[in-house]
Structure 1
Amino acid sequence: MLDNTRLSGAAGSGAVGSGAADGAGPVTPVQEYFDRSSLGFAVFDDAGVVRHANAALCALLGRPAGAVTGTRLGELFTTTADLGADHLRVDARAVRAGGDEVEVVLDVAPVGGGLRAAVVVDVGEVVALRGALIRQSLSDLVTGLPNRVQFLRWLERCTGEVGLVHLDVDGFHVVNDALGHDAGDRLLKSVAGRLLDTCSARGRVARTGPDEFTVLVTDPTGAAELVGVVEELDASLAEPLYLGDTGVGVTVSAGVSVQRCAGRTAADLMRTAEVAARWSKQDGRARWTLYDPRRDADERRRFALAAAVAGALEDGEIDVRFAPVFSLPDHEVIALQASLHWERPGFEGFDQGWFPELSETTGSAARLGHEVLAGACAHASRWRAEFGDRTPPVAVRLSAGQCRRPELFAAVRDVLAGTGLPADRLWLVVADDVLLSLDADQVEELDILTSAGVSVLREQRGGGRFDAFGSTGVPTSGLKVDGSVVRGLDDTAEPVVRSAVVGMLSWAVRNLDSDLFADDVRTESEARGLAGLGVTAAQGPYFGDPLHPDDVSALLRRA
């Protein structure tokens, strides 16, 4: 068996490089590593005389192999440490052939047979490598721009006031998906180049996200200066960028923020511009938005609620409330509209209408939708057991996600079977835009439900012309209009608005072969106007707040 722990070659032979030394036998793996390593290696005896030295050490010392072997270690390195120690790790200086010195680290350990080995590390190379690694860690490999880590370091060193422009490239994933990631990288490089041309004289530019860039301007004259940066960039991006034969139009959604640094973290400052950019994307893209602390505080409050939805459901904080739907003009209860209600400490009085938005934000829409459906049907079944046929149907709004669920019919059927509520005592309210977006299979699910006895009501949001409705293929038993239409009947409405609403609702009452309902009625004049036009029924704050199930029981006893 070969001994891989020993270096071949006689003392003073000066063997350097590959191959056996002076006929000492085949080259071992250790010998090969010794010869080829980029680190300096030397083997010396008890007298401190170098017996072997590799090429890397000879190059470091600027001496040929023959001038290194046979020389005492103390003549090649200067240090205050005892080079005769068996184990040693010490800073030293390597003495080069011309007399100049190089800072090194010597690491000495015994290797057996009365020999010791020294590993010699050039401190300059270590420092250079460390610097290269640091630069690499602070730079984006695709664009060459500083990255997010570097940008936050810049912010940490800022004092006074800073201006931030956060830019999100619109539709970047479309380029990646359609043309490939190489094309996406070319697009990012182009945007980075145009940003540097536009902004380098005003501030610092970094790539701070997959398709995001941020500009830092210290002590800006105001938001107008930052808006000017966005407008100049928009102008530079006006010409299409050609990726192969495809001319790609590039736009950005920008967030603009001017902030004082005192008492703020870099991440907090950065967030203000990022939030404003997100608003730009939400509001239509290809625009800029100025950071608004009030809007941000309102959003954070809602997001705090959104994050707590799952726990609130688990802890029973969320229950089902019922808004009576009153016939017009006699005000008899003909249905009970179910909705979720949440009384959370610290958020008293928050708008319960946020629930649909909150559920979509957290991905809990399906679970919340099932909670309100199951809760409404369970309560309605108990009321029927007590009040019989005097119990009105319950209405439940379906979200877009619920309507697109592959087995909506099965889900509703299971709830009805589990609660014992007859199908004809359930109304499902679906927004008109959702109905129009459903595919054939999803329409069929609703059609099966109506065949089983469930009623479907279309809900129109934001007004519009009823005679322009497209056919959904779903048999509907009623149409509901929201508060944006109802508001046109209030005494304070502009005459032209009131005239348009009256005409629209009059046409609907005469021509639609279904009942017409109104939501979010707030004033007596609105209720009076709806009744005068022949609208079937209405609900909303004017008629009272949504009722706890116990209050519904009391209402039905009085009926």
Structure 2
Amino acid sequence: MQNMTSNQRRSLSQHLLPLAIALAFVVGLILALTWGALQIQVTLAGFLNGESVWSKAQKQAVIDLQIYAQSGRADALADYRKNMAVLASDRWARDAIASGHFDHDAVKQAFRRAHVIPEAIDGMIFMLHYFSSAPYMNKAIAAWYSTDSTIDGVDRIADELQRAYAGGSVTPAMVTAARERIAESNRYVEPRSNTFSAQIADGAAWIGTVLFLTVLVAAIVASLLWLRMARRILQGIRNSEERYRLLFDSATDAIVMIDESCGLILEANHTAETWIGAANGSLAGRRFDDIFASESQPHAKRGATGVLMASDGDHRPVEMEGSLATWGNRKVRQAIIRDVSERVALERERRVAAEALAGIAEGVIIADADRRVVSVNAAHTELTGFGAQALTGKRFDETRRMPDGGPLPESIWISLAGGRHWTGEVQSRRRDGSVYPEQLSISAIRDAQHRVLHYVAVFSNIHAAKMQQQRLEYMATHDPLTGLANRVAFQRQCEAAIAAASRARTAVAVLFIDLDAFKIVNDSYSHALGDRVLQKVAERIGRQISGHDVAGRIGGDEFTVLLDRLELREDASVAAEHLLASLSEPIVVDDCEIVLSASIGIAGYPLDGGDATSLIANADAAMYAAKSNERNTFRFYTPIMQADARQRLQLVSELRRALVNDEFRLRFQPSMELSSGRVVAVEALLRWEHPERGELPPMEFIPVAESLGLIRRIDEWVLRTVCAQIRDWDRVGMPSIRVAVNVSARWLSHPAFVEGLGRALREFQVSPQRLVLEITEGAMLQLGDDTERTMRALHGLGIEVAIDDFGTGYSSMAYLKLPAVTWLKIDRSFVTGLPQGANDVAIVEAMLAMARSLGLSTIAEGIEHEAQHQFLLKAGCDEGQGYLYSYPLPAAALERLLNPRPLPARLSLVPPKQQ
């Protein structure tokens, strides 16, 4: 057998050797042709790249020279010279190659200076030297040469302009003439540049087609010849293979041939592939050990056992016999694998039956028909402390009682005798006398006559589960921070109190408590400290109510108190006064003394509502009235309060509709450069064109929008509208002024703020220098730790930031050092008293001095009198804004105001007289 196998393999090698040599030749030919085509394509890519750089440099040079002619800017001239250097490098290299005698390295350096792809430079030199007259190439080079004199003329214009600007002799007429000559040169060069680009691109496409067809034809011819040879050789191999395979696959056992040196499967019969779930010889090449489960990897020797693992996850116990053979120079082991699944299944069943009790996590008791213990598992001993010997012969129900303390009822055993099983909770006694709750399940094992032979009891300790259930029930009805009743529990107890009051004909009152300015605590300290303050508040509320009253927290800094068994609703005023007095006392948390106050609304049953929902809502309305009018007080509910609440809800609905119907408008208030009187910036101010109430200022709807979370959508609308307006102004030739936009704290702190800002700038093609974000100190304070990150992100976009209302809130000097902050806006409250108010004068002068030392620019707002203007001008303020110059204007009016025209030394805008 070994000799026959050796002869077969030697014959196979002799047949396949010519085929392999022919295949290597075909592959080598195709690779060589492909490599040659790739090199030519790289050269063409270099031409295309060089053409693109040359064309862009020419066009950009014209643009830069136009800018220089108009403005005389040195940077524009430098950019022009740099682009002309690219053109000169290309031109010199071209002429050097055309001369036929050139320094190859010098030409390569010239092309590198012209930004040509380095890998394509040698190919470009070769083609320009030897194929300059090729199709498309000759026309492209002719178009290139035709632009030389014109480009030289453009360079002479640049020299003339440079000398004129250097001598100060530039006149508008000279600039106009130069720009016309530059434009005329560009009109001559541009079509020839396009001709050059088109010819190069067409030539690249033509050569690419030729190369592709050449490689394709060569590959097809070589492949056909190789396939013809392979067909003859493989036909002979196939005949001998089929005979061997027929014998090999007909075996009922699995047969696997394994390389003895590396353990890889060389071949497997059909039975092996069927058992393992492999098809079409996919077992070949796999490790023999890999077809067995990891815990069972036997050696292919006589009597070895293992577990064969199929691809679908099935396992098949097997037994193996192995023998060594030789295939050529390779040692091969032949493994014959037999299925022993039935034998292993019987053994497994016996083992499972023996280990079932020991492995189960729950306690298990097996008792006879008289309920006397026969055996227990290890978990029983662990849970109860009773081992099998301590309970043998005793009834297992002796140590168990029902939750009420009584014995297990006889009905359980009657039910079990009737063919059912029983499950329930019992109290079980441990060996040490302690008791724990237990979930017990009892089943009966019967004989053929359905008589009970044994009882099987399975139990588990449910003490932890019951504690968890109680904890969940508590959490479902109580606020996790303060331990007070949550909204659902408070409303449920309120309904119960209303029902009891209806029967007893008494009154019930709901107090709605809201802490005044609690947000300042979170903003000034931390939310963690704010949470501890809320816990202190909850404790004080709990001390002020009686045992049958209920206190709850329904969200944030809002608390509720339910007072029942009242004679009249007005009796709740005593409790309200005590609560106000208690809550106004200082609260000490972490060495911080915090003084708060509260506003309380009171609604009572039956006067103010017949259900819990109405009472809570009306108490909320009364609280809002107390907070709006005075704070640190209480108010009883009246119907007019609900009308105010409905008005707020109507405003909410109208705000949402305003966003959909595009009812918002922008007004632009100019900002003057005090030293020159020029309008250098505007501030975008939001107005609401209400369809019924007319134009509404922000103070009437912004607080509501902030409370509803609509402020982000409004801010986004303002930002995008401002960007669109800047773009429109640029199109009509408006001066390039800055536009300041106010940003709310909520939008500023949103993770998508910076990304949305950058997207708007890109979409409307607005330069970041045209936009200034006005951010109040309060908004920056709310950013907290994210302040520096946000400012750095804005600085990276090129956006400048102005600190608005500086000095009116929590002022942090650290904000003035952030990278994006470049403007300081002096609040109108300090400007109003100028120049008579000594305190205002001192404050403003200090701000201006600080801004100058920090390199910040300053804007004063609220300037209404000439004396204020003069003072700020002398004090060194950069810009001013106010009614002295102009009221906020629509975009069209601002366009008329700023339409380019000669300006006086200082522009003073006179506002219309107020009626």
Tell me if TM exceeds 0.5.
Answer: yes
1:380 deviates by 1.0
Counterpart residue number, 2:800:
455
Q: Distance in 1 between matches of 2:874 and 2:846?
A: 13
Q: Deviations over 1:343-402 (max 9, x none)?
A: 1234435432355433321223332222111110111111112124x2411111222233
Give secondary structure in 2 for the equivalent of 1:196.
Answer: coil
Q: Is contact 2:603–2:637 with CA below 8 Å preserved after alignment? A: no
2:772 is the alignment partner of 1:430: no
Counterpart residue number, 2:418:
27
1:501-520 superposed matches below 5 A: 501-513=840-852, 514-520=856-862
Q: Is contact 1:156–1:265 with CA below 8 Å preserved after alignment? A: no
Give secondary structure in 1 for the equivalent of 2:889.
Answer: coil
Q: Distance in 2 between matches of 1:306 and 1:148?
A: 29
2:880 is the alignment partner of 1:538: yes
1:259 deviates by 8.1
Q: Distance in 1 between matches of 2:511 and 2:827?
A: 39
> Using a 3 Å threshold, how does the CA distance of structure 1 residues 231 and 333 change in structure 2: closer, same or farther?
closer
Q: Distance in 2 between matches of 1:554 and 1:157?
A: 75
Q: Deviations over 1:182-203 (max 9, x none)?
A: xx8x997995575116xx7xxx
Q: Distance in 2 between matches of 1:175 and 1:428?
A: 32
Q: Distance in 1 between matches of 2:814 and 2:630?
A: 25
Counterpart residue number, 2:832:
487
2:717 is the alignment partner of 1:371: yes
Q: Is contact 1:277–1:289 with CA below 8 Å preserved after alignment? A: yes
Q: Is contact 1:463–1:481 with CA below 8 Å preserved after alignment? A: no
2:215 is the alignment partner of 1:215: no
Q: 1:446 aligns with which of 761, 785, 791?
A: 791
Q: Distance in 2 between matches of 1:340 and 1:258?
A: 38
> Using a 3 Å threshold, how does the CA distance of structure 1 residues 481 and 343 change in structure 2: closer, same or farther?
same
Counterpart residue number, 1:557:
899
Q: Distance in 1 between matches of 2:563 and 2:863?
A: 48
Q: Is contact 1:387–1:556 with CA below 8 Å preserved after alignment? A: no
> Using a 3 Å threshold, how does the CA distance of structure 1 residues 227 and 536 change in structure 2: closer, same or farther?
same
2:729 is the alignment partner of 1:338: no
After TM superposition, the score normalised by the length of structure 2 is 0.37
Give secondary structure in 1 for the equivalent of 2:726.
Answer: helix
Task: Say how many residue pairs are matched.
Answer: 410
Give secondary structure in 2 for the equivalent of 1:387.
Answer: coil
Q: Is contact 1:163–1:259 with CA below 8 Å preserved after alignment? A: yes
1:507 deviates by 2.2
> Using a 3 Å threshold, how does the CA distance of structure 1 residues 288 and 386 change in structure 2: closer, same or farther?
same
Q: Distance in 1 between matches of 2:413 and 2:879?
A: 100
1:293-304 superposed matches below 5 A: 301-302=647-648, 304=650
Q: Distance in 2 between matches of 1:310 and 1:346?
A: 15
Counterpart residue number, 1:323:
669
Q: Deviations over 1:60-108 (max 9, x none)?
A: xxxxxxxxxxxxxxxxxxxxxxxxxxxxxxxxxxxxxxxxxxxxxxxxx
Give secondary structure in 1 for the equivalent of 2:713.
Answer: helix
> Using a 3 Å threshold, how does the CA distance of structure 1 residues 523 and 466 change in structure 2: closer, same or farther?
farther
Q: Is contact 1:466–1:508 with CA below 8 Å preserved after alignment? A: no
Higher relative contact order (CA 8 A, sep 6+): 1
1:212-361 superposed matches below 5 A: 212-215=560-563, 218-219=567-568, 225-230=574-579, 253=598, 255-257=600-602, 270-275=616-621, 277=623, 288-290=633-635, 301-302=647-648, 304-328=650-674, 331-354=677-700, 356-361=702-707
Give the letter for the 1:196 counterpart: S
Q: Deviations over 1:126-164 (max 9, x none)?
A: xxxxxxxxxxxxxx7987987132355589899999975
Give the letter for the 1:213 counterpart: V
> Using a 3 Å threshold, how does the CA distance of structure 1 residues 195 and 313 change in structure 2: closer, same or farther?
same
Q: Distance in 2 between matches of 1:259 and 1:521?
A: 52
Task: Choose between structure 1 and 2: higher helix proportion.
Answer: 2
Q: Is contact 1:519–1:539 with CA below 8 Å preserved after alignment? A: yes
Q: Deviations over 1:311-344 (max 9, x none)?
A: 3222212233322223337653221211332112
Q: Is contact 1:321–1:546 with CA below 8 Å preserved after alignment? A: yes
> Using a 3 Å threshold, how does the CA distance of structure 1 residues 359 and 542 change in structure 2: closer, same or farther?
farther
Give secondary structure in 1 for the equivalent of 2:832.
Answer: helix
> Using a 3 Å threshold, how does the CA distance of structure 1 residues 547 and 263 change in structure 2: closer, same or farther?
same
> Using a 3 Å threshold, how does the CA distance of structure 1 residues 475 and 187 change in structure 2: closer, same or farther?
closer
Give the letter for the 1:392 counterpart: I
Q: Distance in 2 between matches of 1:527 and 1:152?
A: 66
> Using a 3 Å threshold, how does the CA distance of structure 1 residues 295 and 383 change in structure 2: closer, same or farther?
farther
Give the letter for the 1:515 counterpart: S
Q: Is contact 1:167–1:255 with CA below 8 Å preserved after alignment? A: yes
Q: Is contact 1:253–1:277 with CA below 8 Å preserved after alignment? A: no
Give the letter for the 1:501 counterpart: D
Q: CA RMSD in A?
A: 5.4
1:2-13 superposed matches below 5 A: none
1:231 deviates by 5.2
Q: Is contact 1:327–1:334 with CA below 8 Å preserved after alignment? A: yes
Q: Deviations over 1:43-63 (max 9, x none)?
A: xxxxxxxxxxxxxxxxxxxxx
Counterpart residue number, 1:48:
none
1:308 deviates by 3.7
2:744 is the alignment partner of 1:399: yes
> Using a 3 Å threshold, how does the CA distance of structure 1 residues 348 and 225 change in structure 2: closer, same or farther?
farther
Q: Is contact 1:195–1:233 with CA below 8 Å preserved after alignment? A: no
Give the letter for the 1:505 counterpart: V
Give secondary structure in 2 for the equivalent of 1:340.
Answer: strand
Give secondary structure in 2 for the equivalent of 1:420.
Answer: coil
Q: Distance in 1 between matches of 2:784 and 2:412?
A: 73
Give the letter for the 2:418 counterpart: V
Give the letter for the 2:771 counterpart: L
Counterpart residue number, 1:195:
545
> Using a 3 Å threshold, how does the CA distance of structure 1 residues 505 and 215 change in structure 2: closer, same or farther?
same
> Using a 3 Å threshold, how does the CA distance of structure 1 residues 233 and 408 change in structure 2: closer, same or farther?
closer
> Using a 3 Å threshold, how does the CA distance of structure 1 residues 262 and 544 change in structure 2: closer, same or farther?
farther
> Using a 3 Å threshold, how does the CA distance of structure 1 residues 360 and 160 change in structure 2: closer, same or farther?
same
Q: Distance in 2 between matches of 1:174 and 1:441?
A: 17
Q: Is contact 1:359–1:365 with CA below 8 Å preserved after alignment? A: yes
Give secondary structure in 1 for the equivalent of 2:821.
Answer: coil
Q: Distance in 1 between matches of 2:714 and 2:871?
A: 35
1:555 deviates by 2.4
1:482 deviates by 2.4
Q: Is contact 2:861–2:881 with CA below 8 Å preserved after alignment? A: yes
> Using a 3 Å threshold, how does the CA distance of structure 1 residues 220 and 467 change in structure 2: closer, same or farther?
closer
Q: Is contact 1:163–1:218 with CA below 8 Å preserved after alignment? A: no
Q: Distance in 1 between matches of 2:587 and 2:671?
A: 56
In structure 1, stretches of 5+ residues that fail to align are 1-15, 34-139, 179-183, 241-248
Q: Distance in 2 between matches of 1:206 and 1:440?
A: 35
> Using a 3 Å threshold, how does the CA distance of structure 1 residues 335 and 259 change in structure 2: closer, same or farther?
farther
Q: Is contact 2:513–2:600 with CA below 8 Å preserved after alignment? A: yes
Which one is further off, 463-472 or 336-345?
A: 463-472
Q: Distance in 1 between matches of 2:741 and 2:831?
A: 21
Identity of aligned residues (%): 19
After TM superposition, the score normalised by the length of structure 1 is 0.56
Of structures 1 and 2, the larger Rg is shown by 2
